[in-house]
A and B are shown apart, each in its own frame.
With several copies, the nearest count.
Chain A
């Protein structure tokens, strides 16, 4: 630190400049500017903060040393998913979003920020192709928010309160959605069968008071919903909206929900070119058909093409800006603010690099590796798959017959440098593979789990329990206390 205090981030701490500026405004000291802050509210002492590291080299050494305490998935073999996924991020993606021009821009107008408008319009357009839908928003915060907003849109459009939740939903996502919509909507849970929607049960509970049917595909356990069109038809028959929460990663090979009747498709773009970032890099998309009834309910910004004074030139601007809370405050649809634009640019670059063939190849690798991991793990005596559905990227294994708890497997494998997955129940483990998980990596997991099973068998014999009921339910209750679908808090 220098005396007087001069800091590289604050040029006008230079003493001569500070004096000149005070003179120019006719103030004796900066204290004058705080005339309106009552004396009683003045802090009157320095903030009690750690000693600063004003020299950049000292700051860098400190922060680097702190972060070096982490042990990342480069060093540990990870089969963790559950909302944040380890996909490869092409270098060009990081290069583009690291550009000062994108990284440090904010809310400029279409002229000086033409590049930002075009990049985000392209993001919308590229996502639209992947999803086969005509309207995609500038990203909102994350898939949680996108889903909460999508359901809210359905509520506003239909004027109804009931929402049928047809899939297994990530508990944290459910937590967010419920607290967000509970004033306006009532969530009702329809238990899944073999990990996907019980279409008959959903149909049975549909009525003209249902705002939306909410499907997640892949679901919390990675199960791909096979009967989306039937759900759509049933929902539409009573005027309800089919809201599909999804991860777009598979749509190079899988039929997009829009082609199976979905009205609103929403989810997260973290898989499309964003690092894991300890779960701190998510963006939410909401896609709808080009139907003003839907579009006008979207709270996010939508960038659109416009003509200019030069024939043939594309300009950009906000579509239906007056929808937004910028314009309407509490009369607007929810709100709009700083959200996740940079991640949208990243996802756009990702899709442009991947192209149709890249997304197809990726989808195939994911399906193949998922299936391979399922087969190899299920081949271990005492290990079974949690269900018979088609899975993409994630699936569960049931360890009941191996007399192993999911927690004990996690603890044992962590000691071997492996994060084998996320426990969902006492004996149920959610395993995730991506294109970053090679055959050799999977084989390593299988060998490690196999080793545990052998040892468990030796230690305890086999204490057989019903592997599909007790374990699962206990576990869910254990982990997701606040989100189990038993009590519907309602707001009077």
Chain B
């Protein structure tokens, strides 16, 4: 398909869906409510939305969907750090019931016992999985959960009168960047530590950075390199020794479920990316769901409202005095919470351990295959096993051929595979990060490695094929320079038409007319 922008498809007068009419009885009682709007409140020109029949809207979006590569369709091991695993269809089917979709969060809790039980149970199961005492499922994604981590840490220190004193947060360069960003947003100064030459987190550097000014360490483990910090207990102890808290980013928990737990290493607070580790679909970039798990000491600071059990009933309690309050509306991303509950229930303890073990088996198997490709390498910890992912490098291939990792990623899309290229900061040169999770079969991992090997061959033997990719996509090599220039960027269709054609400079009529013109033409 070469599907137009939807505005180009507009035909005046077509309707996609109709709204229920105002009843005559209502009309008689209220009169012309639109005409009666006060001056300035009645919209002067209708919004220039496109006008399309229902089937054309559907067709448009179905075609767009076919121009998209969902995890269900490809061997999605290339989105390292993202834990692209199978999101079971049964869970999508189970949550589609009106018993959940048509439930309002302020209904009588007696009418919401099912969903409240699921929230409560999921919290308890995650408490067991993390070893922590209390869990909240309020946050809407991994970064939001990181925010909640630092917000609770901030509230904790304030409650202890140390808010003004503890102004620093320490993280590592291979922890997710949101740890640094969220700490900054919470008002902290951020200290970022680099690994030792072997790629292991540097305990000496940590000790040097810690001080009574430290509010917390915020670290991922295993880090985005797939390397597990064997001194993690020492890290936590060192933080505690200066009165700081230890916050564990468990975005990379997929390889350690049932193997080792955050609390057992002494952490005070941790989070999971439910949409990664617990099998909810990624939704083209959300909604996700975060879980914040804390020790008893931090429990009063959890977001609210809380679901609690009283005998056989589940009740809703507003958050307490010290809570950081609402981090979002109501109870969190409920469809994902129910999916995660179902996912854990489908696997159980033995299953979660099989998830972890298979994820690391798959990762180490894929690493074996990738390292057989000339030009690919896995910096750091040479010869050692990794947990659930590896940050690789094409540096050798780049030096030999001039082909970049980004170009290889684009070319991979021609084979129905891909990897994402956001590996800021570029500490590893020409990076690519593969995380096979537990969801892919050996044959699929072989297939993925074979694609990379083929592209590496092309890079040597026919580099132009790689450089001019993509060749089999709907769109062709795209010029991204426009996107950084405020004079030329076009973030919406109306802005595009205004900037490039001078249409509809203000108000809505412009692009609508334009769309009509195109149809008439």
The answer to A–B direct touch (Cβ < 8 A) is yes
B37 on the interface (CB 8 Å rule)?
Answer: yes
> Complex Cα distance A33/B365, Å?
11
B49→A352 contact, CB < 8 A:
yes
With contacts A254-B41, A278-B112, A337-B141 known, is A313 near B477, CB below 8 A? no
Find A101's partner among B46, B69, B386 (CB 8 Å cutoff): B69
Per CB-CB distance, the 8 closest pairs between chain A and chain B, nearest first, are A52-B348, A280-B334, A14-B13, A279-B330, A315-B478, A279-B105, A337-B143, A11-B53
> Complex Cα distance A322/B144, Å?
20
> Complex Cα distance A225/B106, Å?
26
* 28 A-B pairs (CB sep. < 8 Å): A1-B350, A7-B15, A13-B358, A38-B232, A52-B346, A60-B90, A66-B117, A80-B106, A83-B330, A92-B61, A101-B73, A111-B469, A112-B418, A112-B473, A126-B6, A176-B326, A179-B151, A292-B486, A330-B183, A337-B288, A342-B287, A345-B284, A349-B57, A358-B16, A358-B18, A361-B18, A369-B22, A491-B187
With contacts A24-B368, A356-B47 known, is A67 near B114, CB below 8 A? yes
A327 on the interface (CB 8 Å rule)?
Answer: yes
Interface residues of A in 462-485 (CB under 8 A from B): 481-483
For residue A27, which residues in chain B have a CB less than 8 angstroms away from its CB? Answer: 364, 385
Interface residues of B in 456-501 (CB under 8 A from A): 469-470, 473-480, 482-484, 486, 489-496, 498-499
B431 on the interface (CB 8 Å rule)?
Answer: no
Interface size on B, residues (CB 8 A): 234
Find B482's partner among A9, A307, A330, A341 (CB 8 Å cutoff): A307
B342 on the interface (CB 8 Å rule)?
Answer: yes
> Complex Cα distance A1/B483, Å?
44
Among listed A117-125, A202-210, A234-242, A449-457, interface-contacting one = A117-125
A49→B346 contact, CB < 8 A:
no
Among listed B203-211, B292-300, B394-402, B439-447, interface-contacting one = B439-447
Interface residues of B in 391-410 (CB under 8 A from A): 409-410
Interface residues of B in 67-100 (CB under 8 A from A): 67-74, 76, 79, 82, 84-90, 92-94, 97-100
With contacts A68-B114, A104-B70 known, is A142 near B102, CB below 8 A? no
> Complex Cα distance A309/B413, Å?
17
Interface residues of A in 14-50 (CB under 8 A from B): 14-18, 20-22, 24-25, 27, 30, 32-38, 40-43, 46-50
Min Cβ gap A289→B in Å is 10
For residue B342, which residues in chain A have a CB less than 8 angstroms away from its CB? Answer: 59, 63
Using an 8 Å CB-CB cutoff, how does the interface string of A312-324 with B read, 1 for contact, 0 for none? 0111111111100
With contacts A49-B352, A335-B182 known, is A178 near B325, CB below 8 A? yes
Q: Across the two chains, which residue of chain A brings its CB closest to B436?
A: A12
A224 on the interface (CB 8 Å rule)?
Answer: yes
With contacts A46-B258, A313-B2 known, is A84 near B15, CB below 8 A? no
Given A280-B330, A280-B333, output 20 extra A-B contacts at Cβ < 8 Å.
A8-B17, A10-B439, A11-B14, A12-B440, A22-B361, A32-B385, A33-B361, A41-B260, A59-B345, A66-B118, A67-B97, A86-B104, A105-B69, A126-B6, A179-B327, A321-B483, A338-B282, A342-B287, A356-B51, A358-B15
B428 on the interface (CB 8 Å rule)?
Answer: no
Interface residues of B in 238-280 (CB under 8 A from A): 255-261, 264-265, 273, 275, 279
